[in-house]
Amino acid sequence: MTDRRILLVAHTGRADIYSTARHVMKTLEAAGIELLAVPGEGTELDLTILESGTAVEEGGESPVELVLALGGDGTLLRAAEVARPLRAPVIAINLGRVGFLAEAEADRLDEVLNALIAGNYTLTERMTVDVVIERDGVVIDKCWALNEISVEKASRERILDVVVEVDGRGVSAFGCDGVLCATPTGSTAYAFSAGGPIIWPDVEALLVVPSNAHALFARPMVVSPHSTVSIHVDPSGHEAIVACDGRRTHEVPPGSKLHVRRGAQTVTMVKLGDQRFTDRLVAKFSLPVRGWRERSH
């Protein structure tokens, strides 16, 4: 065995994924790489558990070479949540449905493992967003996201009344179901479903997308990565919630202000080969790329 270690994050509860994880474990073990598991996982595989709460200071050495996610986009987001404090890169093998953020599909598993074993991969940084929630000038909560921060109404039957500002200047006030602040990585997720544009991952920007807004001007906005987007919740209105990547939720009382900025810490992703984002976009959304001029008559 070498001192190389990889951390596994898997979509638990599926027999096919446990079978895949066993294959990963045996392949890496044969190459002298130890596979670790996060707390609550790895029991069936008899893996060593990485101590919960492990974090690495900036410039420090990560206890693992990378974090390997087996599952869909939800599993990758969970893996990113684990990898970020470890300052370790993350890679996902798609065993779910869309798997837009995954680097490869399940049929390329052995190819991916061979590349990881050989160290034949590169790293790319993905922008994140930080949110600070304050009320009456007091910070009451903080969070971060790789995909998006979603400010939503807490009750289905209510309307959320907000004022949206950019760099302290009001842009629009409206009632809505919510407001999304997304990264370019998250532009193909919830923000896309809400009508936002797709932004290439290497573009640094903040994306602001109102959800079902009752307003004449409630269009998606692409904002400078150096700007601060503030969302004011009506003090006479209803309670809201903020969801970070759809995983971590926080209560937002009426009268609160949420300040969204470019994240102080990125998420590092493993990249294999030279696949272009355009090709992934076309493949995942099954986009037609032949125009009418190429049709036979």
- Residues with catalytic roles: 73
How far apart (Å, rounded) are the C-alpha atoms in residues 147 and 194?
Answer: 14
DSSP class of residue 64 equals S
Is residue 222 helix, strand or coil? Answer: strand
How far apart (Å, rounded) are the C-alpha atoms in residues 62 and 87?
Answer: 6
Q: How many CB atoms lie within 10 A of CB 118?
A: 9
In the numeric block, the tokens 């300052």 are attached to 87
Q: How many CB atoms lie within 10 A of CB 277?
A: 14
Going 111 to 112 to 118 to 123, the CA torsion angle's sign is positive
| Alpha carbon separation from 207 to 46, 57, 101, 220 (Å, rounded) | 43, 29, 18, 7
How far apart (Å, rounded) are the C-alpha atoms in residues 164 and 143?
Answer: 19
Nearest to 218 by CA among 262, 259, 179: 179
Exposed e or buried b per residue across 173-211, where buried means at least 16 C-beta atoms within 10 angstroms of its C-beta: bbbbbbbbbbbbbbbbbbbbebebeebebeeebbbbbbb
| Strand 48-49 to 122-126 pairing | unpaired
Instruction: Judge whether 111 and 104 are in contact, CB under 8 Å.
Output: yes
| Strand 104-105 to 122-126 pairing | unpaired
